[in-house]
C-alpha cells in the first residue's frame, strides 16, 4: 500500500476530523462566540514547532539504515555479506563487509551532520521569543508554544512567527509593508491590508475585546493563494462577514517593514504554515546517465548470476568422477555425504555468487555522488557567469542533473524577462486613432522647453479632448502601483518629479505598470498616492483630482486584463479596464476599434508590448448589483476563484474603447548570439509566451530564432476558423515534408543550407484544440502525432498566447514523444514554474518578476546569455566526465573479477580465491578510486575557448552518445581482453616448474617461487598498473594534481604491498602473504613480465584510438588535432580562464 495513503488514514482517524475537512474554524483569542451564534467546537491543531530535521536521537540508526538499504547496490552487498556469514564461503565476510561498512558509515556521518545542523536551526527558531496578548496584556513566550487562535503582536523588522490574519497596525489606513525575501526571494516591499472592521484596534485592550471567528481553507503550500472569511460579532445582531484573501495573510518567514507594529491572529502554526509546506521537496528528477547506469548494473548482475550458475554446474560435472569428488587429501565426513544434493548445489551457487560479487561496483555510487556534489561548485565559482549589474551569480539547487546539461535537445524559453530585459520603456499611446509620443529624455531629464506631447497626426476635437483626458485618468487609476515618497533633493530621475515638488518613486510587481504610469506622467497626468482608499492624481492644470477606489478586479493570466471601479468627486462611477487586445476587443461595444486595432498590430510587428484601455460608466443600481456579486464570490469558501472569474466576466462587458498603449521591452544582451550558438549545437529552441503573435514574432526575428529566409507556418485560431483543424494540420504536414522528401531531418537540420528552413507559429487556442479529446469519442493522438511531425521538421517554433499550464503541456508533449528527447525549460516568472518543473532540466533566470522561477528550478542564472556557457561548456564537460567514470568503473571491475572466474577452471571449481583478502577489500576503495574521481572532476578534452567558439562539438555527445550499448560492449570486451592477458600471461610465466631441495616449487623460466598467492599477486599487480595507466592514456588535461594522484596511487599500492607482506601482523590468523610481494619483485624476469603484460593489455585500446582518429575522426577529435598544431596561446591573453584556475597552474594538453 502507498505510504502516503496510510499516512492520510492515520491522520484522518487518529488526529481528528479537522485535519481532513475542507475548512477550519478559528476562534480569535480562544473566545467562544456569543450564545446562539454558532456551536462552539474546540479543535486541536499542531503547536508552532518547526521540524525540518529528518531524524531524532532514537530513530537515526534504524531510519538511516533503512533509507540507505533501499538502494539496490547497498541491499545487494548486504545480502552477500549475510551469505558470507551464514555459509562457508571462499572469501572472508570482511571483503564485502568492510567496503559496505565504509560506504554506509561515510553516508551516515554526512547525513547525520547535516541533520544535526538542521536540529540546531530548528531549536534556534522554536525558542525565539514572541509577544502575544493574554487578558489585555502583552506576554512573552517561546515561539514553539504559540497556538492557533492566539493574538500576536509583531514589531518592525521582526519576522512573523506563524501565518497570521492581519487585524490592525499603528497606521491609520490599516496597512503594513512586508518583505518576503526568505520565501520567494523578492526584496520589494509588499502592502498588506487589515480587516476593515478591526483596523481601528490600536491597543492591546482593544484587540483583546474582539469577538470573532475565522473560517478558512485547510493549509496548502501556495504562497499566493488564500481563501477565508471573518465573522465579527459587534453586538447581538448577526455578525459582519468580511472576505479574507492573500492580501490579509502575513506569512511565516516574511519580515515587517516601515510599520511600527501590527496585531494578527494565528491561523496556521508549525508544520502547517505555508513556509513549512514549501519545504517539501519537489518530485525527484533522474538523469539519462543515471538510468543508463542502472541498466548496466542489471546487465552485470545477470553476468554475475550466469558466472555463478556455470561454475556450479561445471563443479558437479568435474566431481562426477569419484576420485575428484573425494581426493585423498580432502575426505568428506559422514554428515557431508548425507546432505541433500540440491541443498549442496544451492550453497555452492551462493558461494560462487560471493566469489564473483565484486563485478558489481559498490563504490561507484559513492564516487558518482561525490563527483556530482563537488562538480556542481564549478558552476557557482564561474566568474564569467557572474552578473556585476545585479550582483548575482549562478545557483545550483540540485547537483543530480549536472550531466543532463550536456544532453539537451529542446529548449523551451519564456520571452518577457528571459529573452528580453523586462525593463519597460513607454513609447507611445493611441487614443481614438490619434498617436501621442512623450518627449525623449536626455540624461534622465525632460527637455525644459517641451510641452510634454508630440502629436504625430491632427489634434483631436473637443469630444476627443474629453476622451483623451479620460484615457490618461484610466492609466493613472487602473493599476496596483505603490508610491514611495522621497525628498526632492534625493531624486535622480527627472521624469518622476511632479509639479508640486514631490518626487514619486513608483513600485510594482509588474514593470509594465510602472512604465505606463511614468509614461502618462510625462504626458501631463501624475499619479500621486492612495490614501484612505482615495486615489489622487495631478492633472495638467496642477489640480489634484480624488477618486474613491471602490473595487479592484485583479489581473490574472487567464483573463489577461484587470479593472478598477472608482467614484469621482462629482459622484460618477467608472469602471476602467486595461488588458491584452484579445481580451478587450470582444468586450467593446463602442469606440474606434479599427483605427486602434491597426495601430496595435503595427506596434506589435515592431516588437512593442501593447495593451488596450476601455471604460464604462456605471449607474448606482449597476454598481450595487456588481458589488453584491463580487461580495458573494469573495466570501465563498468553495470554488472562490471560479465564482470570482464568473463575476468579473459579468461585470467587464459592454465597454467603450479609449485607446491603446505601446511599451518597449529591449532584448537582453547577447540573447541573439546565445540562440544562434544553441541552434548550431543541434538544440531546437522554442519560445513560449503569453504575448500576442506579432509582438512575439518580432522578438523572434530580433533574437535570430527566425531568419529572413525562414518560411513561417501558422497554426493559429484565425487559420483554423478559415479551415478545419484537420485540414490545416495536413496542409502544413505536406508543406514541410515535401521539401525534406525522403531525407530524415534531425534535430539540427533546420540550419543546413540544402534544406528549406521552416518556422512554426501556434497560439494557445489552437494548442487546446490539438490537445483536447475529440467530440466523437475517438482519440486525438493522430492530431498530436501530426503536430509533432510538423514541429520536428521546423528549425524553430513560437507558441504565443500561452497560459502557464499550456507551457507545461507543450513541454510534456515533446518530453513523452517517441524519441523521448531531453528537454530544458528556462523562464523568470511565476508563470514559468509549471514548465520548469515539467522539463528534464529547469533553469530559472534571476529576473525582475520575483524569484519563484529561480526557487523552483534546478539551476538559476542571472541572464539568458549565461545559458550558452552552462550548456556548451559545463554541460559538455559534466557529461564527458561522468560517462567515462561509469564506463571505467565497470571496465576495471571486469578486469578485477574475470581472472577469478578463469582461475576456477584450474582449481577444480573449488571456490579458491585468486587474490588476498586485503586486495579484494581495497581494490575499489583505495587503489583505483582517487584517479577516476579526480579525472571526473577536472578532465577537459578540449579547451573552454574551443567549446565556446565551436558549438557544433556539442553534437558529438548528443543522445547519450558515450553510454550507448556499442560503447558499453566495447568497454566490457576490453575488460575481458585485459583480464585474459593478465591471467594467461602470468599463467604461462609459471608454466615450467621444478621442486627444489627444500620442497619449494620454483619456476624454471623466471626463477621465482611458485604458489597460489604469488600467482594472484602478479595478476593483481599487472591489473592495478593497467587500469591506472588506461586512465592516464585517456587524460587530455594534465596538471600537477593529476600526476600526484595517478602516480601516487601506484606508489601507494607498491608501498602497501611491501608493508602487508613484509611484516608479520600479530592480529592476523594467517600469514600467507608474508614475503610474497618482496620475493616476486626480487626476480628480474617478473619485472619484465609485468611491463610486457601491461603493454600488451593497453595496446588494443591505443591502436583503436589511433585508427579511429585517422580514419573516422569525430568533430571533437578533429578539433583536438588542429589545436595541437596551433601555436600555444599566452594564458594571460585568454578571456576565459580554465576551471579550477587557482589549483591548475600551467596545464599541459596531450
Radius of gyration of the chain (CA): 37
Does the annotation count 486 as an active-site position? no
Tally Cβ neighbours within 10 Å of residue 629: 17
Inter-residue contact 853 to 827 (CB < 8 Å): yes
Does residue 583 contact residue 559 with C-beta atoms inside 8 Å?
Answer: yes
Question: Parallel, antiparallel, or unpaired: how do β-strands 841-845 and 859-861 relate?
Answer: parallel
Contacts of 428 (CB under 8 A, 6+ apart): 435, 436, 437, 438, 603, 661, 662
**Cβ-proximal residues to 300 (8 Å cutoff; 6+ apart), any chain:** 359, 360, 890, 893
How far apart, in whole angstroms, are the C-alpha atoms of residue 1010 and residue 998? 13
Find out whether 73 and 362 touch, Cβ atoms under 8 Å. yes
Q: Residues 83-115, buried b or exposed e (16+ Cβ, 10 A)?
A: bbeeeebbbebebbbbbbebbbeebbeebeeeb
Q: Is 958 left (phi over 0), alpha (psi -120 to 50) or beta?
A: beta
Cell of 1133: 591573453
Alpha-carbon distance 367 to 375, whole Å? Answer: 12
- Interhelix angle 725-740/764-771, nearest 10 degrees: 100
Tell me how far apart the alpha carbons of residues 555 and 224 are, in angstroms, rounded to a whole number.
Answer: 13
The phi, psi pair for 530, rounded to 5°, reads -115, 115
Catalytic-labelled residue, pool 163, 414, 691, 832: 414
Question: DSSP for 629-656?
Answer: HHHHHHT-SSSHHHHHHHHHHHHS-SEE
All 3 cell numbers of residue 936?
A: 571526473
- Separation of alpha carbons 418 and 674, rounded Å: 12
Cα-flanking dihedrals φ and ψ of residue 802, to 5°? -95, 130
* Cell numbers given for 886: 561509469
User: Rounded to whole angstroms, how far apart are CA atoms 932 and 340?
Assistant: 47
Query: Quick one: DSSP state of residue 39?
Result: -
Residues contacting 643, CB < 8 A, separation 6+? 632, 633, 636
Q: Which helix (H) or strand (E) segment is 176 a member of?
A: strand 175-180
- Give the integer Cα–Cα distance in Å for 595 and 173: 43
Q: How far apart are CA 824 and CA 733, in angstroms?
A: 26
Per-residue b or e along 895-911, where b marks 16 or more CB atoms closer than 10 Å to that residue's CB? bbbbbbbbbbeeeebeb
Please provide residue 282's backbone torsions phi and psi, each rounded to the nearest 5 degrees: -75, 170
For the chain, give percent helix, strand, coil, nearest 5: 50, 20, 35
Give the H/E segment covering residue 314: helix 288-318
CA dist 910 and 159 (Å) reads: 71
Rounded Cα–Cα distance for residues 800 and 688 (Å): 6
How many CB atoms within 10 Å of residue 664?
18
Give the contacts of 716 (CB within 8 A, at least 6 positions apart): 693, 761, 762, 763, 765, 766
Question: 191 pairs with which residues across the strands?
Answer: 177
Provide the residue count of the chain. 1150
Contacts of 969 (CB under 8 A, 6+ apart): none
| Phi, psi (rounded to 5 degrees) for 488 | -60, -35
Hey, which residues are catalytic here? 414
Amino acid at each position: 500500500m502507498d505510504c502516503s495513503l496510510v499516512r492520510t488514514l492515520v491522520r484522518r482517524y487518529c488526529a481528528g476530523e479537522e485535519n481532513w475537512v475542507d475548512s477550519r474554524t478559528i476562534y480569535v483569542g480562544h473566545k467562544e462566540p456569543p450564545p446562539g451564534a454558532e456551536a462552539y467546537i474546540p479543535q486541536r491543531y499542531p503547536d508552532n514547532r518547526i521540524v525540518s530535521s529528518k531524524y531524532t536521537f532514537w530513530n537515526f540508526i534504524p531510519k538511516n539504515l533503512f533509507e540507505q538499504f533501499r538502494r539496490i547496490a547497498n541491499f545487494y552487498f548486504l545480502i552477500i555479506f549475510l551469505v558470507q556469514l551464514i555459509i562457508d564461503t571462499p572469501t572472508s565476510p570482511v571483503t564485502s563487509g568492510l567496503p559496505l561498512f565504509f560506504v554506509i558509515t561515510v553516508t551516515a556521518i554526512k547525513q547525520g551532520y547535516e541533520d544535526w545542523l538542521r536540529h540546531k536551526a530548528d531549536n534556534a527558531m522554536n525558542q525565539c521569543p514572541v509577544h502575544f496578548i493574554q487578558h489585555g496584556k502583552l506576554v512573552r513566550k517561546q515561539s514553539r508554544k504559540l497556538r492557533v487562535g492566539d493574538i500576536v503582536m509583531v514589531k518592525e523588522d521582526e519576522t512573523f512567527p506563524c501565518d497570521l490574519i492581519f487585524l490592525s497596525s499603528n497606521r491609520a489606513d490599516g496597512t503594513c509593508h512586508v518583505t518576503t525575501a526568505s520565501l520567494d526571494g523578492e526584496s520589494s516591499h509588499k502592502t498588506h491590508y487589515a480587516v476593515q472592521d478591526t483596523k481601528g484596534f490600536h491597543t492591546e485592550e482593544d484587540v483583546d475585546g474582539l469577538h470573532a471567528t475565522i473560517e478558512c481553507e485547510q493549509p496548502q503550500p501556495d504562497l499566493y493563494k488564500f481563501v477565508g472569511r471573518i465573522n465579527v460579532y459587534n453586538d447581538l445582531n448577526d455578525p459582519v462577514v468580511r472576505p479574507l484573501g492573500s492580501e490579509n495573510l502575513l506569512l511565516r518567514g516574511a519580515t515587517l517593514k516601515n510599520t511600527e507594529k501590527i496585531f494578527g491572529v494565528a491561523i496556521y502554526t508549525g508544520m502547517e504554515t505555508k513556509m513549512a509546506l514549501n519545504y517539501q521537496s519537489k518530485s525527484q528528477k533522474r538523469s539519462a546517465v543515471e538510468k543508463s547506469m542502472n541498466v548496466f548494473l542489471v546487465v552485470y548482475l545477470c553476468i554475475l548470476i550466469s558466472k555463478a550458475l556455470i561454475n556450479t554446474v561445471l563443479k558437479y560435472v568435474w566431481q562426477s568422477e569419484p576420485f575428484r569428488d573425494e581426493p585423498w587429501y580432502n575426505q568428506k565426513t559422514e554428515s557431508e555425504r548425507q546432505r541433500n544434493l540440491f541443498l549442496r548445489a544451492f550453497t555452492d551457487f551462493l558461494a560462487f555468487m560471493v566469489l564473483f560479487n565484486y563485478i558489481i561496483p559498490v563504490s561507484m555510487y559513492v564516487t558518482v555522488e561525490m563527483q556530482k556534489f563537488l562538480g556542481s561548485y564549478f558552476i557557482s565559482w564561474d566568474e564569467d557567469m557572474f552578473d556585476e549589474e545585479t550582483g548575482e551569480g549562478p545557483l545550483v539547487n540540485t547537483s543530480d542533473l549536472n550531466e543532463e546539461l550536456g544532453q539537451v535537445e529542446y529548449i523551451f524559453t519564456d520571452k518577457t524577462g528571459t529573452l528580453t530585459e523586462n525593463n519597460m520603456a513607454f513609447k507611445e499611446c493611441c487614443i481614438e486613432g490619434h498617436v501621442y509620443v512623450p518627449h525623449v529624455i536626455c540624461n534622465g531629464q525632460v527637455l525644459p522647453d517641451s510641452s510634454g506631447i508630440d502629436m504625430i497626426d491632427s489634434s483631436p476635437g473637443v469630444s476627443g479632448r474629453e476622451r483623451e483626458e479620460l484615457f490618461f485618468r484610466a492609466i493613472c487609476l487602473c493599476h496596483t502601483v505603490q508610491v514611495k515618497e522621497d525628498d526632492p533633493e534625493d531624486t535622480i530621475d527627472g521624469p518622476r518629479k511632479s509639479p508640486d515638488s514631490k518626487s514619486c518613486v513608483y513600485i510594482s510587481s509588474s514593470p509594465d505598470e510602472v512604465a505606463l504610469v511614468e509614461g502618462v506622467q510625462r504626458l501631463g497626468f501624475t499619479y500621486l498616492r492612495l490614501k484612505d482608499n482615495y486615489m489622487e492624481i495631478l492633472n495638467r492644470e496642477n489640480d489634484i483630482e480624488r477618486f474613491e477606489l471602490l473595487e479592484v478586479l485583479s489581473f490574472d493570466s487567464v483573463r489577461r486584463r484587470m479593472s478598477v471601479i472608482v467614484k469621482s468627486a462629482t459622484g460618477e462611477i467608472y469602471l476602467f479596464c486595461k488588458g491584452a487586445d484579445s481580451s478587450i476587443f470582444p468586450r467593446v461595444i463602442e469606440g474606434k476599434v479599427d483605427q486602434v486595432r491597426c495601430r496595435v498590430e503595427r506596434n506589435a510587428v515592431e516588437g512593442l508590448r501593447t495593451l488596450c484601455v476601455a471604460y464604462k460608466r456605471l449607474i448606482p443600481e449597476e454598481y450595487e448589483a456588481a458589488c453584491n456579486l463580487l461580495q458573494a464570490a469573495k466570501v465563498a469558501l468553495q470554488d472562490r476563484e471560479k465564482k470570482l472569474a464568473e463575476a468579473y466576466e459579468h461585470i467587464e462587458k459592454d465597454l467603450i474603447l479609449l485607446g491603446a498603449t505601446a511599451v518597449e521591452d529591449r532584448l537582453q544582451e547577447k540573447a541573439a548570439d546565445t540562440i544562434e550558438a544553441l541552434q548550431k549545437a543541434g538544440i531546437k529552441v522554442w519560445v513560449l509566451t503569453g504575448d500576442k503573435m506579432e509582438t512575439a514574432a518580432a522578438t523572434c526575428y530580433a533574437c535570430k530564432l527566425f531568419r529572413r529566409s525562414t518560411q513561417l507556418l501558422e497554426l493559429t485560431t484565425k487559420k483554423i476558423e478559415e479551415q478545419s483543424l484537420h485540414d490545416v494540420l495536413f496542409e502544413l504536414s505536406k508543406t514541410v515534408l515535401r521539401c525534406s522528401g525522403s531525407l530524415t531531418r534531425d534535430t539540427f537540420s533546420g540550419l543546413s543550407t540544402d534544406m528549406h528552413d521552416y518556422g512554426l507559429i501556434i497560439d494557445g487556442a489552437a494548442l487546446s484544440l490539438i490537445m483536447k479529446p475529440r467530440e466523437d469519442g475517438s482519440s486525438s493522438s493522430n492530431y498530436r502525432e501530426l503536430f509533432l511531425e510538423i514541429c520536428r521538421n521546423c528549425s524553430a517554433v513560437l507558441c504565443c498566447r500561452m497560459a502557464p499550464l499550456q507551457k507545461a503541456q507543450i513541454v510534456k508533449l515533446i518530453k513523452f514523444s517517441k524519441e523521448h528527447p531531453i528537454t530544458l525549460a528556462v523562464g523568470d516568472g511565476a508563470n514559468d514554474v509549471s514548465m520548469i518543473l515539467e522539463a528534464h532540466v529547469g533553469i530559472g533566470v534571476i529576473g525582475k518578476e520575483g524569484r519563484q522561477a529561480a526557487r523552483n528550478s534546478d539551476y538559476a542564472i542571472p541572464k539568458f546569455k549565461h545559458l550558452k556557457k552552462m550548456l556548451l561548456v559545463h554541460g559538455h564537460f559534466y557529461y564527458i566526465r561522468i560517462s567515462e567514470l561509469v564506463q571505467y568503473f565497470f571496465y576495471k571491475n571486469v578486469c578485477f573479477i574475470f581472472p577469478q572466474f578463469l582461475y576456477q577452471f584450474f582449481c577444480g571449481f573449488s571456490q579458491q580465491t585468486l587474490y588476498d583478502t586485503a586486495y579484494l577489500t581495497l581494490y575499489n576503495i583505495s587503489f583505483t578510486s582517487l584517479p577516476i574521481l579526480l579525472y571526473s572532476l577536472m578532465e577537459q578534452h578540449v579547451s573552454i575557448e574551443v567549446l565556446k567558439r565551436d558549438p557544433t562539438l556539442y553534437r558529438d555527445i548528443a543522445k547519450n552518445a558515450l553510454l550507448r550499448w556499442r560503447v558499453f560492449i566495447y568497454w566490457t570486451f576490453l575488460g575481458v581482453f585485459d583480464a585474459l592477458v593478465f591471467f594467461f600471461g602470468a599463467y604461462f610465466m609459471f608454466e615450467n616448474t621444478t621442486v627444489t631441495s627444500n620442497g619449494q616449487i620454483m619456476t624454471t623460466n623466471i626463477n621465482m617461487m611458485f604458489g597460489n598467492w604469488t600467482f594472484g599477486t602478479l595478476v593483481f599487480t599487472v591489473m592495478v598498473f593497467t587500469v591506472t595507466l588506461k586512465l592516464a592514456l585517456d587524460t587530455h588535461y594534465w596538471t600537477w594534481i593529476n600526476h600526484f594522484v595517478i602516480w601516487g596511487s601506484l606508489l601507494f599500492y607498491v608501498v602497501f604491498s611491501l608493508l602487508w607482506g613484509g611484516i608479520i601482523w600479530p592480529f592476523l590468523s594467517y600469514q600467507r602473504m608474508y614475503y610474497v610481494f618482496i620475493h616476486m619483485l626480487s626476480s628480474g624476469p617478473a619485472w619484465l613480465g609485468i611491463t610486457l603484460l601491461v603493454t600488451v593489455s593497453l595496446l588494443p585500446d591505443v591502436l583503436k584510438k589511433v585508427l579511429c582518429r585517422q580514419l573516422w575522426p569525430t568533430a571533437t577529435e578533429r578539433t583536438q588535432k588542429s589545436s595541437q598544431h596551433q601555436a600555444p596561446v599566452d594564458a594571460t591573453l585568454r578571456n576565459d580562464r580554465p576551471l579550477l584556475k587557482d589549483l591548475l597552474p600551467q596545464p599541459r594538453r596531450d
